[in-house]
Every structure is written in structure tokens, then in C-alpha cells.
Amino acid sequence: MRAIGLVGTPYRWGGNTPDSGFDCSGLIGYVYRGATGITLPRSTRDMINLRGPDIDRSQLQTGDLVFFATGGGSNVSHAGIYVGEGRFVHAPATGGTVKLDSLDKPYWQKAWLNAKRVITPSNLARQ
């Protein structure tokens, strides 16, 4: 999947291209635009409210959006793209880079909020 090829790209708040760097929602928007032509909302708050089915963690498929409340509570603060085998690609924080991470890590399990299916996985598989 295209998102995996972006691992290592620098994090930059507000960034939405490989040249400028990415924040979490900028990375998702870039991948979705390039892979499907779909333009997603710019903020994680708007993305989590997109129409489309909520997906249980056990039903995740490649391309699903995963959402986290990294500050605790129920307010979305971070998002990534599920890439299979319990892993997701995301742009985590200032000073870091786009990375491949595991949903099984206790940090992400604790912060887990929701997942959404915006497109069917077969659309992404062709990319």
C-alpha cells in the first residue's frame, strides 16, 4: 500500500505532502487523494465524523482509518491508516517521522477510539 512507502517522511504540523512533511491528517489525505482520488476533510475531528461504517477492531481491513484519543477521554487527537496484520501507518509527532506501528502496543490500545471504512479495500489493492 502507498502509505507504507511514506514511512520515514518527516513529521510537520500542518504538512500534507512528502516534500513538506506530514501531520497525521495530512498523511491520510495525501494517501487517499493519490490512491483513490477521494478528498477527505483536513482535520481528524472531521474525518472521524465522515459518513461510512464504524469498524470493530477485529474487522479492520487495509485502508480503514483508525482514530485515537492520545490525551485520554473521547476527543479524537490522532489518526492513521490500517495496513493489515495489526499495523497502521501514521505521522506521530514533532521531531519524528511517518512510521509503521502496531495496534497491539499498550499505548495504542489504551488510546483507541474508533475506525471508519471510507472506501472498499479492493480500490486500494489496485494501487
> Which residues does the annotation mark as catalytic?
24, 78, 90
State the Cα–Cα distance between residues 113 and 62, nearest whole angstrom.
18
| C-alpha radius of gyration, the chain, whole number | 13
Task: Give the count of alpha carbons within 13 A of 115, CB side only.
Answer: 24
d(CA 33, CA 50): 16
59 sits in which H/E element: none
